[in-house]
Structure 1
Amino acid sequence: MTTSHDTSPTTAFDDEAILLIGHGSRRAKSNEQVRKLAADLETRLEIPVDAAFLELAEPAIDEAVSELAMVTSELTVVHCSLFAASHVKNDVPLAIEQARATHDLAINNGSHLGIHPAIIDLLDDRAGAVERELGVRRDRDDVAVVVCSRGSSDPDANGDVHKLSRLLYEGREFDRVEASFIGVTEPTLEETLHGLSKHRPDAIVVLPYMLGDGVLTRRVRDWTAEFDDDYPYVDALAGEALGTDSRLLDVFADRWQEARTGSVEMSCDTCKYKVDLAGYEEDVGGARAMLRALTHQESHADRTDLDDEPHDHDAPKNHVAVCTNRTCAEMGSPRVLERLRQQARDSDHCDARITRSSCLGRCGDGPVIAVYPDGVWYGDVGTTDAKRIVTDHLDRGRIVSELVDQTL
C-alpha cells in the first residue's frame, strides 16, 4: 500500500531546505529517531534536512532556522506531530512568524503527519509482528487491536485517532479495533483493555501510536504487561512505536510537496479555534491558544538559568562548518555532517556547534569542513574521519594533520 513519489530535486542543492520538527523527549533514543528520520529524508529528497525540537531537546526551532537561513533561501517546515493539536496549530506557527520577522527567508509551513495510507499499512505490519510473537492469526483466532495515542485537549486530534482505528479495521479480519489514550482524555488504555476482556478475545494487540520510543511508549508496554498478568485467559502484548520505518518518508515527502506548492489542507471544519464545539466555546478565535503558546515559550526562557536543563544555550567552544553546496554534497558531505553530529553527541567532552555551510570555495577538495575559532580547514573528509575530528580536535585540541586542507 506504500505510495510512490517523484522525489527528484527541482532546485539547486542550497536553494531549498527542510526543517523536520519533533516534539522532543527526555529520552535520547527518541530524539535520535527524529534525527535519523531527518537524515533519511535528506537522502530521499536530495536536499538539506535538519531536525529541531519544540522542547526537551536541542536545537530549538529558532536556532535551527537561524543556521539554515545562512545557506538557503527557502525553508519548508515538516511536522513529526501525528495529529493537529496545539503544537501544530499554535506553537510552531508562532515560531515561524517570529522567524519570518527575523530572517530574509521564505518559509513554508506543512501539516502534521495525519491519516495516510502508508501509516495504516505500517500499523497493520506492527500488528502482524505482535500476532506472530503471540502465536495467533487474525483469520483463525479472535484478535482485538487497541490503537493507543497520547491523548490531547484538542477534540479534532482525538477524533482522528478513532478514524485511524476504524480505517485499520476496515478490510481486515480483526475481531475489533478500539481507540484509546494514555492520558488527558478518555477512554484510557486501562479502561479499553478491561472492556475488551469482557468479550474474551484470544489475544489483544496494543499498538502505541507514537513516533519515538519515549516515556509514554514504555508506559503503554507496562500497562499492557500488567493487564496480561491480571487476565491469564487473554494474551496481551504491546508492539513497537512507528520509529524510523521508511514508510514514514513517504508521508513526509507528501507533506513537503503540499507545503511548497501551497496545497496544505487543515481540518478547519472541526477545529476548536475556528468553530463552536460543545465544551470548547471559549477557545474560538484562538486568543487562549496564542496566550498558551507565548506562555509555553516563556517557560523555556525561564529554564535557561538551570544548569541541568537542555535549554541552556551558552556559546560553544568550537563552531564546525560543513560545506553542503552541490559539489561537496555529491561527495558525501551530508553523511559527514550527520556523523560529526552523532560523534559530538556521544562525546562527554565535545563542546561544539556543527552546522551546514554554503560553498567554502574549495570545490573539488571536498567534503570540506572548517573548525573555528581555530581556523583549521579539513578536506577530503569521509564519514570514517568524523570520530577522529571529534575525539582528537574538538575534545583534546589536537589537529588531525593528514586531513588538513589549509590553516588560516
Structure 2
Amino acid sequence: MTTWDLQGMQRHLLICNGSTCMEAGAEEVTLAVRDEIAKQQLDAKIHTSRTRCNGRCKDKCVVISYPDATWYNVPDTTIARKIVTEDVPPENVLFTLSPSGLSRNTDSKAIKGISKEKVAKRQRALGENGVKKAVLFVGHGSRLEQGNEEVREFVERSKHLIDPAILVETCFLEFASPNIEDGIELCVEKGAEEIHVIPIILLHAGHSKLHIPAEIEHASEHFPHVTFTYGQTIGIHDEIFEILKARLQEAGLDPAQKHEDTAVLLIARGGSDPAANGDFYKISRLLWEQLDVKWVESAFMGVTTPSVEEGIERCMKLGAKRIVMLPYFLFTGILMERMKKMCVEYQQLNTDVSIELADYFGYHPRLQNVLIERAKQAMSGTSTGMQDLENYRAYAKEHGPAHHHHHH
C-alpha cells in the first residue's frame, strides 16, 4: 500500500464512502474533490481519505474537513469542488467541532438524528426487564398510496397475534415512507435491542436476497448493540393456495367443482431471478393439483416471459373456453390497473371466449398465519433468512455492497 510523506499537509478531508453515501453519489464526489485538488495544485497540502459510514446518512454525501473539524453536506460535484477552495455555501455546512463542543450551523438542513444519550438511557432502563424486541415488517411499497395503506392496515390487524411486549412497526423497500433505514431507527429510538426484520414479499428474489440484507448489514454497523435477525419471504406455503382458491371462488369458480373447458392464468409481476420464477411455476403446478380445471398456466407482467398476452393465447390454443386471470400480487397498484384494461381489451378481441379477472392475492386474513409464522421463526433462530444474511455477506465481500435505488 502507498505510504505518503505527509510533511506539509494542512488539511485532511474525510469523504464518506458508506453504502448510503455511495448510493447518493459519493464516488463522483470523491473524484471531484481529488480532481479539484490536482487542478489547484494542492496535493502536498490537502490529503483525502475514503471512510466507512460516519453515522449521518440523512446528510448524504458527507465530507469532514480537519483541522477545522467541519462536517459538510455534499449533494453534488459542484459543492465537492467548493470544499477544496473553502467556498462552501452556508446551507451545506452542517457542524463545526471545537474544544467547547459541537456547534450546529443554523442555516443548514441537517436533521437532529437519534440521541445516543437517550438510547443508552433506554438500554439501562430495560436492563432489569430483559431485552426489548421489535418485529419490523417490510412491505415492497407502491406508487399508489392505497397499496401502501393496505400494508399498514394489514400489519395493524395482525398485531394482536404477537406478544404485546414486542414492538411492531412497518416500513417499505421503496416508493413509500418510512423506508427500512427509518424503520430500524424508529425501533432503536423506542428501545429495541433485538430487531426481527420480516419481508412481506411473495417470492424470494433480488429484493429479499440482496437489498433488504444490505439495509440490515448497514444498520448493524450503526447500532452494534442491536441484534438483527431476518425472516424469510412468504414463499411456498400451504396457506397461499387457500388464498388463491378463495380469490377464484369470489370470481365465480368453485374450486371443488369440475371445470372442463376452464383455464386459470396465474400472473406474477415478473423478475430476472431464475429461482423465483421457478418457484412461481411450482406454485402454478401445486395450485393445479388442488383444482379440477384442465389447465393452470403461468404468465408475467414484465421483465420475463411468457407475457400475459402470450399466456392468454396459449390458453386459447389449448382449447379453453373460459379464462380466469388470477393476479399473484400482494397489493393494488399500477400493474393491477393495467391488468383491468388488459382483461377488457382481450375480451373484446376474443368474443368466443369468456375472459375474467379475479381479485389480486392481496392481504387475505390467512396471510396473517404465514407472516406470524415467519416472525416466530426469526425470533426463535430457525428462519432460513439468516442464511440469506450470510449469503449477502459473501456477495458483498466479492462484489461490494448491493445498492438499491430508493424511490420516494
TM-score, with length taken from structure 2: 0.62
Once the two structures are superposed, the pairs formed by residues 28-39 of structure 1 within 5 Å of their partners are 28-39=145-156
Cα separation, 1, equivalents of 2:255 and 2:238: 25
Indicate yes or no: 2:321 matched with 1:212: no
Work out whether residues 42 and 49 of structure 1, in 8 Å CA contact, stay in contact via their aligned partners in 2: yes
Indicate yes or no: 2:217 matched with 1:108: no
What RMSD, in angstroms, separates the aligned Cα atoms of the two structures? 2.8
Once the two structures are superposed, the pairs formed by residues 296-375 of structure 1 within 5 Å of their partners are 296=404, 299-300=405-406, 310=408
Flag the 1:215–1:79 CA change in 2: closer, same or farther, 3 A.
same
The residue type paired with residue 206 of structure 1 is M
Aligned to 2:282: 163
Aligned to 2:210: 90
How far the C-alpha of 1:13 sits from its partner, in A, is: 11
Q: Which one of the candidate residues 250, 254, 266 is aligned to 1:129?
A: 250
- TM-superposition CA deviations, 1:216-236 (whole Å, max 9, x none): 122222222211111111111
Q: Which one of the candidate residues 153, 174, 192 is aligned to 2:293?
A: 174
Question: Which runs of 5 or more residues in structure 2 are unaligned?
Answer: 1-128
Work out whether residues 118 and 247 of structure 1, in 8 Å CA contact, stay in contact via their aligned partners in 2: yes
The structure with the larger Rg is: 2
Aligned to 1:19: 136
Question: Which runs of 5 or more residues in structure 1 are unaligned?
Answer: 1-11, 275-282, 301-308, 311-408
Once the two structures are superposed, the pairs formed by residues 3-82 of structure 1 within 5 Å of their partners are 15-45=132-162, 46=164, 47-71=166-190, 72-82=192-202
Cα separation, 2, equivalents of 1:13 and 1:161: 42
- TM-superposition CA deviations, 1:151-177 (whole Å, max 9, x none): 111001000110000110003201110
Cα separation, 2, equivalents of 1:187 and 1:237: 19
- TM-superposition CA deviations, 1:63-114 (whole Å, max 9, x none): 1111111222211111111111111010100100111111221111001110
Cα separation, 1, equivalents of 2:374 and 2:312: 34
Once the two structures are superposed, the pairs formed by residues 222-261 of structure 1 within 5 Å of their partners are 222-261=341-380
Cα separation, 2, equivalents of 1:209 and 1:178: 12
Secondary structure in 2 matching 1:142: strand
Secondary structure in 2 matching 1:293: coil
Cα separation, 1, equivalents of 2:221 and 2:211: 16
The residue type paired with residue 402 of structure 2 is A
Aligned to 2:317: 198
- Regions of 4+ moved over 4 Å: 135-138, 287-292
Secondary structure in 2 matching 1:179: strand
Work out whether residues 181 and 187 of structure 1, in 8 Å CA contact, stay in contact via their aligned partners in 2: yes
Flag the 1:291–1:174 CA change in 2: closer, same or farther, 3 A.
farther
How far the C-alpha of 1:121 sits from its partner, in A, is: 0.6
- TM-superposition CA deviations, 1:337-384 (whole Å, max 9, x none): xxxxxxxxxxxxxxxxxxxxxxxxxxxxxxxxxxxxxxxxxxxxxxxx
Cα separation, 2, equivalents of 1:82 and 1:261: 22
Cα separation, 2, equivalents of 1:291 and 1:229: 50
Cα separation, 2, equivalents of 1:213 and 1:60: 19
The residue type paired with residue 147 of structure 2 is S
How far the C-alpha of 1:288 sits from its partner, in A, is: 11
Secondary structure in 1 matching 2:186: helix
Secondary structure in 2 matching 1:250: helix
TM-score, with length taken from structure 1: 0.62
Percentage of pairs with the same residue = 31
Aligned to 1:154: 273
Indicate yes or no: 2:402 matched with 1:293: yes
Work out whether residues 229 and 386 of structure 2, in 8 Å CA contact, stay in contact via their aligned partners in 1: no
Cα separation, 1, equivalents of 2:351 and 2:364: 33
Once the two structures are superposed, the pairs formed by residues 263-302 of structure 1 within 5 Å of their partners are 263-265=382-384, 286=395, 293-294=402-403, 296=404, 299-300=405-406
Cα separation, 1, equivalents of 2:396 and 2:217: 16
Cα separation, 1, equivalents of 2:131 and 2:331: 29
How far the C-alpha of 1:57 sits from its partner, in A, is: 0.5
Cα separation, 2, equivalents of 1:105 and 1:136: 47
How far the C-alpha of 1:290 sits from its partner, in A, is: 5.4
The residue type paired with residue 189 of structure 1 is V
Cα separation, 2, equivalents of 1:96 and 1:267: 11
Count of residue pairs brought into register by the alignment: 274
